[in-house]
Amino acid sequence: MNELTTMTTTPGETDLVEMGRIFAASGMFPDHRDAAQCATKLIVGRGLGLSPYDSMNGLHLIQGKPVVAANTMAASIKRSGRYDYRAVTTDDACSITFFDLSQRDENGTPATIGTTTFTMADAKRAGLNGQNWKKYPRAMLFARAISAGYREHCPDALGMSPVYVEAHGETEIPRPPSAPVIEQETTQAAESRIGELEDLLRSNPDGENIAKKAIEKADVGSLAELNHDQIERMIEWLTK
């Protein structure tokens, strides 16, 4: 039985289920070859007011929670028709002032709701010290400030569901720490499969481009830096 056959959908969702099949078959999103996963993202994305493409490209579902790319969240706030913001960003801090367009003074100036600031000092206190904070400090600061401001000042801009932000592969969803032994086993498992992945890529006419896109998406320097789950997903996709 087809994986989507038993999904319960309303008439308005049926087109998204079919669209999920199309996205899965298109190959445009190598990490999303499963039709049910694509359809789920599209249905959740529509509830947040996102277009199908924005749902596929800028929405992730992690531990059952919607996680939106920072630029997608920012664009959605501006497209809401009710809210707007102005950001001032440096390598050390990002301050974003939010406005309510439905409330204006006699000069037509929208009402200021409030200002949210996130600094490198805040990042340090939160234990955010990965490589992306060194390579993309402004983007990372903006992502944290826009999501904090969204939750505080305009939580209805993307529907009523709590939404978290993602930037350069980092999300606000906390992940449980892994035991050192498990991390070692996972690393060994990845090393044992990287050779198979490289063989599959060499035998694929478009293998070089596939590898390049995978490295860029994972924000790593080479295939050898991919984690075990990423390698397994690529092998599964290449052998379908």
Separation of alpha carbons 139 and 235, rounded Å: 31
**Domain chopping of the chain, boundaries:** 74-154, 180-238
What 8-state DSSP symbol labels residue 224? Answer: G
Predicted confidence at residue 186, as pLDDT, reads: 45
Sign of CA dihedral 230, 236, 239, 240: negative
- Sign of the torsion angle spanned by Cα atoms 147, 151, 153, 155: positive
pLDDT tens-digit map of 44-59? 888 888 888 888 888 8
Global pTM reads: 0.63
b/e string for 21-40 if b means 16 or more Cβ within 10 A?
bebbeeeeeeebbebbbbbb
Confidence of residue 184 (pLDDT cuts 50, 70, 90): very low
| DSSP string for residues in 125-158 | HTT--SHHHHH-HHHHHHHHHHHHHHHHH-TTBT
Give the sign of the dihedral formed by CA 58, CA 41, CA 228, CA 196. Answer: negative
- The pLDDT mean for the chain works out to 82
- Indicate if the pLDDT at residue 214 is higher than 90: no
